[in-house]
Structure formats: C-alpha cells, structure tokens
Structure 1
Amino acid sequence: MTATVLFVCVHNAGRSQMAAGFLRALGGDRVQVLSAGSLPADRINPTAVAAMAEVGIDIAGEQPTVITDAAVRQADVVVTMGCGDACPFFPGTRYEDWPLEDPAGLGIASVRPIRDEIRQRVLDLLASLD
C-alpha cells in the first residue's frame, strides 16, 4: 500500500518543504508526498534549501502552494506545523501536529537543528506507516 502524506505549514516555504523533501528521499515508492500552506509564500526559503542541500536533498525546484480540500481528502496522514485552524479537518484522516520552530528569517546555524528534528520526525512517521 502506498500512503499519501500531506505536510502543511503557513507559508509552505520551510518546514513543510523540508519534511516533504525528507519523506520523498527516505520513503521512496512507499509514499506519495504532498505539501501546502494556508498562506503560501512567493518562493521556498533559501536557507531551508541550503540546509537540505547540506544533507544531499534538493528542494530548490519546489514551489509553495495553497492547501485545498482535495489535497486533504487525498491524504492518509496530514502533518500540520503551526497552521492552526486554517487546516481543513476531515473525519477519518490521521492528523499529527509537529510543533516546530519556523525557519523564516533564521540563519543556517539555527535552521540545521530544525532540519534535523524534521528528519527524525519523518523517520518516525515512516516507521508508523509500515
């Protein structure tokens, strides 16, 4: 079975994009990965891109997108990261909230621990899908 995971944060430019990058890299064919934001930014956070590049994952080509009811309905798991009530809720869908610091405006040294925590959470999520 292929699980569909949707990562949602406010701007879909940092946390959710890093999580999606890790899940694509670590989950392979076992997962379909979606990401979105309640108020998408114009572009991916360049510091998040740099932090992911340090661990060999390229998210530079990703584009922030707005969350839709269709994306939430498609997901088996919705992981929220600080979007609060802006995230649609559908009964029967598994939700997880990851309280992660927003990397917006932070330097690379401050983004690395956020990236590393996201990687561990993605590994835990993958283990829970098996």
Structure 2
Amino acid sequence: MADSLTTLRKDLSVDQQLALRTAASRLLTEFAGTYGVETIERFLHTSYDQFASGSSVPNYLPLLAERFARQRLQALARVEGHHRDGRPVVLFLCTHNAGRSQLALGFFTHLAGEAAVAWSGGSEPGTGVNPAAVAAMAERGIDISTEYPKPWTDEVVRAADVVVTMGCGDACPVFPGTRYENWEIDDPAGRSVAEVRPIRDDVERRVRRLLDQLGVPVTR
C-alpha cells in the first residue's frame, strides 16, 4: 500500500504522504474483510481533495481526510448491508456546516451517546466552525471545537434514516425512501454568543423531540 500511495500523490510533501500512508493503514485495519486497498485509497484521497483547496492548515489535512473517509466508509458499509447494528442514523445538513448543523450534531451526539449515530454536512462547507456556536455549546458542557465543516456525499445521505435540513434549500439532496425534516432555524453566522444562545436552545428542543420520535433514550 505504501508504494501505491506514494505513486498516487506525487503532488504532496513527504510528510503528507507519510501521514496519508499511516491513515490508510489504520483504515485498512478497521475495515478489514469489508473493503480493500483500492477502495480505502480512493475514499481517503477524494476526502483529502475535498479539503485541500480551502484549507489554511495543510498539515492538518491528512487527519481531516482520514476522519471524513472513515465516516464515508462507515456509511457505505451501511448502504451495502455490511454493517447493520439497528441504531438509527441521522444526518444534519445546512449551508456551511459551520453553525446550525454543528449545534444539532453536538446535542444529538451528547444526548444519544452510543444509542444512535449522527453526521453533518454542508452544501457550501465553510473553513471552520462558528466560534460563537462553539462558545455557546461550551456553556452547556458540549465541546464542538474539534468538529470541521465538510460536504455531504451520496453514500452518507443514502445511509441516513433521517435527513434534517436547515437552510440549504434546493441544494439539499433527496433520495427516495429517506425521511426528511426541514427545520426553520436562524443562522448563527455573524451573531454574538448572546444571540446564538436562543438558537442553541431551539436546536436542543428539536433534537430532543427527534430522539423521542426515534425511540432513543436520553439520560442527560
């Protein structure tokens, strides 16, 4: 695998190539028996390319690519029937994946724990999560500072049992057989922490209601 990755990415520095080779090795171990080298490499490199053009922190790109590739491979495994654990999967979508969808993802993950799966994405991903949203969530003891804006992909949308859209309009993907909800929620972009708090609380109420509808127990 190392030789293949080196050959494929001559446009990268030695350190970036090494980081991608290490990421590919981890992914190959995680998905052993499900996906092989070619699929792992394809998902890893296309994930890398998703972030390369807009990132100001190139040394962080291999890690972002690995995280996104892992999510996409998990989604593909669900779509193809390789992995069905009975847990509901919810996808939160907004325009930049920097505010509303990250608030929803943070609450859902915090409240559901291991009982459900949540992902998020944007039609036009930004370059970072809204700092006011990060601060507002920190007030509730939820850390979303390590999250990052990312696009959605077909396999991620197809793997979701519920797709919640927030402001992405016609750009939001539609697949037959998937449950869709549209939440009319104010955009936190350009707002202070004080202004984001009521948006945060609105998102929490909606997430709690969705978890109740899905039959997911909430202990917090």
Q: Fold match, TM over 0.5?
A: yes
State the AA in 1 paired with 2:98: A
Runs of 4+ in 1 over 4 A off after TM superposition: none
Which has more radius of gyration?
2
Gaps of 5+ in 1: none
Structure 1: which amino acid aligns with 2:93? V
Structure 2 partner of 1:84 = 169
Instruction: Measure, in 1, the Cα distance between the counterparts of 2:135 and 2:113.
Output: 22
Match of 1:97 in 2: 182
DSSP 3-state at the match of 2:207? helix
Report the CA distance between 1:38 and its aligned residue.
0.2
Q: Which has the higher strand share?
A: 1
Greater relative contact order structure (CA < 8 Å, 6+ sep)? 1
CA RMSD of aligned residues (A): 0.6
Q: What CA distance in whole angstroms lies between the structure 2 residues aligned with 1:113 and 1:127?
A: 21
Corresponding residue for residue 116 of structure 1: 201
Unpaired stretches in structure 2, ≥5 consecutive residues: 1-85, 216-220
Q: Scaled by the length of structure 2, what TM-score is found?
A: 0.59
**Cα shift readout 1:6-58 (whole Å, capped 9, x = no counterpart):** 00000000000010000000011111110000000000000000000000000
Q: State which of 12, 16, 21 in structure 1 corresponds to 2:106.
A: 21
Matched, 1:58 2:135: no
The equivalent of 1:34 in structure 2 is 119
Q: Is 1:48 the equivalent of 2:130?
A: no
Instruction: State the percentage of identical aligned residues.
Output: 59
Distance 1:115 1:37 in 2: 18
Give secondary structure in 1 for the equivalent of 2:125: coil
TM-score, structure 1 as length reference: 0.98
After superposition, give the CA deviation of every residue in 1:44-101 in whole Å (9 maximum; x if it has no partner): 0000000000000000000100111111101000000000111110111000000000
Is it true that 1:75 corresponds to 2:160 in the alignment? Answer: yes
Which of 64, 87, 96 is residue 11 of structure 1 equivalent to? 96
